[in-house]
A and B are shown apart, each in its own frame.
Chain A
Amino acid sequence: MVIPHGNLTKAALVSMDADKKIVPVDMTQLRGILNYDPDEFVFTALAGTPVSEISKTLAEHGQFLPFDPPFSSSGATLGGTVAAGLNGPGQFRYGGVRDFIIGVKFIDGAGQKLKGGGKVVKNSAGFDFPKLFVGSLGRLGILYELTFKVFPAPQAYMTLSFNPGNIQSALDTACLLAGSSLEPFAIDIVPPGRLEIRIGGNEKANESTAGLIEKCAGFPASRMTGQMESETWDKLRDFKWAQEEFLIKVALNPSLLCELDNILEKIEASRHYSAAGNVAYISTERNNLLFIDDTLKKMKLSGVALRGDLEYPRLGWHPARKAETKIQSAMDREGKFLPL
């Protein structure tokens, strides 16, 4: 069996076994942007290309990857980002990696080169394999070439920090702003009760939007711009706050956030919420893993470990497993990839 990997920024997804039956396939040398056409809002790159390299090239043309890939300063590759299905805080504005991937080329278990999707921003021909590969955890095939849609980057950012003091009011304000027409780029909740709102656009427009956001929230914020502002988000994207052995992502929804937070508070696990309560990241020690797995199952939430040494990275509730197995056996008849 094989497991493809990039720079191991999400090492929990790359299980290595002691008796070496699983062959790791290092993709990091398969790198480079093959084609970038700013006028088309499209680029194609090899899977091992670091996302930081891509962001840099895009920025030279005033464009960006709107899903704001995490771990980029730690060397995350494009292929790894897709296979892990990871989005950064900026996903709130225009969507996640699933909303920007438009084409994939990959190798299946029989060693065949296959492809799905295309190279134009709009295409509905054939099954949408590019989306299927988002979150495929390196278990449906080896991605080697990817095509993405990109957007013009905002001219400037501003971050507003609110401190409502507790998780419930932070969440209430987050939901209020998320449903407003003020178009924040990121809405992150930092326990015990802080709220970070990122806005983007023309500098003058940002000023006036900031005022409206404070009005909508009902209390004043501290404002941040410039380098300090961008570094704040760089750190978040790199999970600098997560110090424990395990880092777990949970697909959440706002209705369950406070309940989950109370439970995590009790076991003293550090955590962070992004996308207005649609995702939780938990940093924890090994002795909490079983409990968290169990909690997620009870709450009908699904999770996946990104860091930490684990035989199988998925936690919690996975109602689609039956369907996943069907797809996996259709795609990997030789059984060369780890089971999903």
Chain B
Amino acid sequence: MKTFKDALQRLRHLLPGERLLIDPAHLAAYESDGLTAFAVTPRAVVIAETSQEIIETVRICHDTGIPFVARGSGTSLSGGSLPHSDGIIIALNRMDRILEIDPRQRIAVVQPGTINLAVSVAARSHGLQFAPDPSSGQVCTIGGNIAFNAGGAHCLKYGMTSNHVLGIKAVTAEGTVIELGNRSTESTGPDLTGIFCGSEGLFGIALEITLRLVPKPECFHTVFASYDSLQKAGDAVSQIIASRMLPGALEIMDKLAIEAAEAAVGAGYPRDSEAVLIVELEGTSAQVEHDRNRLSGLLDDSGADVIHVAGDDLERERIWKGRKSAFSAVGRLSPDFIVQDGVVPRRLLGKALRKIQEIARQHKVRVANVFHAGDGNLHPLIMYDGRVEGALEQGEACAAQIVQMCTDMGGSITGEHGVGMEKRAFLGNMYSEDDINLMHRVRRGFDPKEIANRGKMFPSGEAPSLSLYGLHPLEKKGIISRE
């Protein structure tokens, strides 16, 4: 393809050879992201070290019409960083500098490849932290967090990534540098920072991000309670919410997830229970002191078998390690699994979980459940063995039915992992054709050639894409493959 050759030639002028990968052996590392069922080989990978290189690369792509995908750490669970087979990957993981921490204003200015956890580590000595804490925080990047509006275990109280981003300097897919927001928690004019967050990389690439930092709570009170039914754990959550407390986190894990987490890290959850509820109170010691007595009363009356309060920071960390390792721990129970992400109104959690078990039985798959119970965000982990013919398809069919269930209940197709590749077919469950057309128009305002993350988020039409069911035409031709 001539245009690609043109683009390559211009990229060679821009970058040293070791940062422009075209050798298939090198490209292989970029074929997949956290949604490992899909793999696509890009034509080239640009490893950027400066904003200027990113801007120039994007301009070359725009001039030649070559699609590009920005990539942070490639941990997207919805195929967000899956390459385009005619396009290039712009790898941002070397753009990982924290440019500024201003403790007085409580802000951090970072490059997009900065690791999520690194921000909190850098802010720690000032008694501050970056609130969004996805389980992948040790590896995922702020750029990826922004694109997918990543969440974590503390969203009910603190919100998502976008609630902690004050300003973004970005290059649009057209190659124009734009500055959105500022260094203030206030703004005037429409909140463009807000819509850039969660735009799934379809507007362009974030180059520099101003983050809001919050003081670390003075004290924590972390408890887990185990139950002989999921329903009881769910009811306990409703009781806590109704009591006017605002816990920092409310998490539930089911039997399979408990088993997996115990095998992986030994967090101390009772293995024979059907459900574990983790509640974390945080705040000033006076307020926590007051709330912990109420919480203790509520849990005592909730029919819990075991109630355990973390005695110190180490124990608190262990409780969280168990929860945060649950995704990867399920790898011990099954060679492959799909991490599903959906939201239902909180009061319907119990019903949703029963329905998921039913759906799983119907498709003859095992499903482990971990969820952010405080905000109704489910994460069913659907297990399958990719070596068995038809197993992936069965898992996907199960996943699809769960997504459908979420919107039938008035919830969302994704709480925090984004639509990406995986859920494009379901965007229409939530939005009308007119709504989606508006999204198209806004995207084209920044990306008239639709080169940024082409083929993602939108239901269909703009590029050949993988379907969730059966073989994709490109797979049949052997151009792309699933692993």
Residues of A within 8 A of B (CB): 37-41, 62, 85, 87, 91, 94-96, 98-99, 108, 112-116, 118-129, 131-137, 140, 151-153, 155, 175, 178-183, 201-202, 204-209, 212, 249-255, 275, 278-279, 302-304, 314, 318-324, 326-327, 329-331, 333, 340
Q: Are A251 and B186 in contact (CB under 8 A)?
A: yes
- Min CB–CB distance A302 → chain B (angstroms): 5
> A120-B345, A124-B198, A152-B245 are contacts. A327–B190 as well, Cβ < 8 Å?
yes
5 contacts between A and B (CB under 8 A): A39-B242, A62-B244, A127-B199, A179-B126, A304-B189
- Min CB–CB distance B449 → chain A (angstroms): 14
Q: Are A252 and B189 in contact (CB under 8 A)?
A: no
Q: Are B287 and A125 in contact (CB under 8 A)?
A: no
- Min CB–CB distance A13 → chain B (angstroms): 11
Alpha-carbon distance A98/B159, docked complex (angstroms): 11
Q: Are B241 and A116 in contact (CB under 8 A)?
A: no
Partner of A124, one of B190, B290, B372, B415: B415
Interface size class, chain B: 35 or more
Q: Are A96 and B186 in contact (CB under 8 A)?
A: yes
Please name all residues of chain B whose beta carbon is closer than 8 Å to the beta carbon of A250 when the two chains form the complex: 188
Partner of A99, one of B163, B172, B192, B193: B163
Partner of A118, one of B105, B163, B216, B412: B412
- Min CB–CB distance B302 → chain A (angstroms): 16
Q: Are B412 and A123 in contact (CB under 8 A)?
A: yes
From B127, B238, B434, residue with most partner A Cβ within 10 Å: B434
Alpha-carbon distance A38/B163, docked complex (angstroms): 22
Alpha-carbon distance A205/B412, docked complex (angstroms): 38
> A124-B416, A126-B427, A209-B286 are contacts. A322–B178 as well, Cβ < 8 Å?
yes
Q: Are B104 and A128 in contact (CB under 8 A)?
A: no
Alpha-carbon distance A121/B436, docked complex (angstroms): 21
Please name all residues of chain B whose beta carbon is closer than 8 Å to the beta carbon of A206 when the two chains form the complex: 286
Q: Are B347 and A302 in contact (CB under 8 A)?
A: no
Please name all residues of chain A whose beta carbon is closer than 8 Å to the beta carbon of B377 when the two chains form the complex: 122
Chain B residues 239-264 with CB under 8 Å of chain A are 241-242, 244-246
Q: Are B176 and A322 in contact (CB under 8 A)?
A: yes
Please name all residues of chain B whose beta carbon is closer than 8 Å to the beta carbon of A124 when the two chains form the complex: 148-149, 151, 160, 198, 412, 414-418
Stretch from B19-27, B308-316, B440-448 contacting the other chain: B440-448
Q: Are B287 and A202 in contact (CB under 8 A)?
A: yes
Q: Is the interface of A mostly helix, strand, loop or mixed?
A: mixed
- Min CB–CB distance A44 → chain B (angstroms): 11
Please name all residues of chain A whose beta carbon is closer than 8 Å to the beta carbon of B190 when the two chains form the complex: 132-137, 140, 324, 327, 340
Which chain A residue lies CB-closest to B189? A135
Q: Are A331 and B105 in contact (CB under 8 A)?
A: no
Partner of B194, one of A114, A132, A278, A318: A132
Q: Are A303 and B188 in contact (CB under 8 A)?
A: yes
Please name all residues of chain A whose beta carbon is closer than 8 Å to the beta carbon of B127 when the two chains form the complex: 179-181
Which chain B residue lies CB-closest to A202? B290
Partner of A251, one of B182, B242, B412, B445: B182
Alpha-carbon distance A114/B157, docked complex (angstroms): 29
Alpha-carbon distance A114/B133, docked complex (angstroms): 32
Please name all residues of chain B whose beta carbon is closer than 8 Å to the beta carbon of A321 when the two chains form the complex: 189
Q: Are A85 and B417 in contact (CB under 8 A)?
A: no
Q: Are A279 and B184 in contact (CB under 8 A)?
A: yes
Please name all residues of chain A whose beta carbon is closer than 8 Å to the beta carbon of B172 when the two chains form the complex: 323
Partner of A95, one of B102, B163, B181, B410: B163
Please name all residues of chain B whose beta carbon is closer than 8 Å to the beta carbon of A136 when the two chains form the complex: 190
Please name all residues of chain B whose beta carbon is closer than 8 Å to the beta carbon of A212 when the two chains form the complex: 284
Please name all residues of chain A whose beta carbon is closer than 8 Å to the beta carbon of B125 when the two chains form the complex: none
4 extra A-B contacts, CB within 8 A, seeds A135-B187, A151-B246 = A85-B187, A96-B185, A126-B419, A208-B286
Q: Residues 203-229 of chain B: 1 if any A CB is under 8 Å from the residue's CB, otherwise 0?
A: 000000000000111100000000000
Chain B residues 288-346 with CB under 8 Å of chain A are 289-290, 343-346
- Min CB–CB distance A114 → chain B (angstroms): 5
